[in-house]
Structure 1
Amino acid sequence: MIRLHIKLNQKGALVWSAVLLALLLGFMAFFPSMSNDAMKELTSGKLQSLPQSILSVIGFDSFPDFTDIKVYYGYIMQYVNMALAVYALLMGLNWYLKEENEGPLNICFLSQEHA
């Protein structure tokens, strides 16, 4: 049954993959501007103007060094993971609604006879 749903939603998966790839490439296109020392000085200068209590509340006690590709990639992956989570949520809801509208549920834990 899962294979059937995957085949039916192949086009949507390709579109989401293209969007995620474009998002990743767009973020990575900004890395050269983040990797120079001028950007590091600009961000540290702006952050030093804020009081330490505000920085600790928003979690910027130590600001990440975006000149390192691993740190920058880790930062942008949170957005890619959020997009993947939204896609997984949409797929799960679509599968559930399709099963609900087209016939009885075949999932044991949602069936009332097994409750």
Structure 2
Amino acid sequence: MNVFRLELKNTWKSTLKWTIALSGITFILLAFFPSMQTESMKELAGAKMEGVDPALLEALGLAELTDFTVVTNYFGYVLQYLTLAIMVFVSQIAVNSLIKEETDGTIEFLYSKPISRSTLLWQKLVANVLSFLMMLLILFFVTFIGYLSFSDFNLVESIKEVGALYGAIFYIGLVFMAIGMLLSVLLKSSKGSAGMVMAVVFGTFILGILGTVVDDLQFLTYISPMDWIKTQKLLTDGILIEEWLMGVLVIVLCLISAHERYKRKDLRC
């Protein structure tokens, strides 16, 4: 039995809806960028930023991105919130991938097929990664077209910058997906999984803000994947070696734990 194709079939509608929604928002935001370059908008944005506490600007990722007349700053700022939405999607499909079979009772159908639990888990994981990758490729194309249409970036510059941004998003998406797969094994029902996903995604995001604002809690930024790919840092320093190590460690430990736990789990039919 090809669980990979079955999982793609079960999730393609959800993936398509999220992709269309995020692509539309992305293009609209980029289409709005030329209006940020007018003198009146420059003055308005500058006046508003001057009245905001520097610590709050840092927490919101605006400390080095205050000049919204530069497309890197403008899109880099809004992208962090689009990334939050992408991580919610990625985590949700991962969490639902295994536990939903038990909640919906479809695990009985899979039981009747000659397929091991290991194969079931890995094929579902690969299907989810492919869905995520297809979403990012479409978003990459939409953003690339937006850069060429609404900014002064040329072809090569657009590909380089947009590729770096979405490449980084793919990396942290794999981190959240691995966490989601582990949760899918640990949870007893898919009911309430949405709340769990929100807690993981927004919880780590808030921890990153605390680590940025409070000097004594700076270590929290290392357990906040969203902080690893802040635009200005990403395009100047890239993802730091400790952030690569942390992410890879989380992916490996979560997937190994999910695999071993799922092999011994008492599945509810």
Common fold: TM-score over 0.5: yes
Runs of 4+ in 1 over 6 A off after TM superposition: none
Structure 1 residue corresponding to 2:10, chosen from 8, 11, 26: 8
d(CA) in 1 for partners of 2:101 and 2:37?
A: 49
Match of 1:43 in 2: 45
Q: Which residue pairs with 1:55 in the alignment?
A: 53
> Which consecutive residues of structure 2, in runs of 5 or more, have no partner in the other structure?
122-258
- Could you tell me which runs of 5 or more consecutive residues in structure 1 were left unpaired when the two chains were aligned: none
Q: Which residue of structure 2 lines up, in the alignment, with residue 95 of structure 1?
A: 97
Counterpart amino acid of 2:43? E
1:64 matched to 2:62? The reply is: no
* Aligned partners of 1:40 and 1:67 also within 8 Å: yes
Shift, 1:75, TM fit: 1.6
19-28 or 95-104, larger mean C-alpha shift: 95-104
Over the matched positions of the two proteins, sequence identity in percent amounts to 29
Counterparts of 1:111 and 1:97, CA distance in 2: 10
Amino acid at match of 1:97: I
Give distance in 1, aligned partners of 2:74 and 2:92: 28
TM-score, with structure 1 as normaliser: 0.76
1:31 equivalent in structure 2 = 33
Q: Which structure has more helix as a fraction of its residues?
A: 2
Whether the aligned pair in 2 keeps the contact of 1:34 and 1:66 (CA below 8 Å) is yes
What residue is the counterpart of 1:84 in the other structure?
A: 86
Contact 2:65 2:73 in 1 (8 A): no
Q: What TM-score, normalized to structure 2?
A: 0.36
**How far apart, CA to CA, are the structure 1 residues paired with 2:48 and 2:10?**
50
SS of equivalent to 1:9: helix
| Larger of the two Rg values belongs to structure | 1
CA deviation digits over 1:57-109, x for unaligned, max 9?
Answer: 20255552110112212122212211111111111122122233333792532
In the alignment, residue 88 of structure 1 is paired with which amino acid?
Answer: V
* Residues in 1 aligned to 2:78 and 2:48: alpha-carbon distance in whole angstroms: 21
8 Å Cα contact 1:34/1:67 also seen in 2: yes
Shifted more, 4-13 versus 103-112: the winner is 103-112
Report the count of equivalent residues.
Answer: 110
Corresponding position of 2:21 = 19
Measured on the aligned residues, the alpha-carbon RMSD in Å equals 2.5
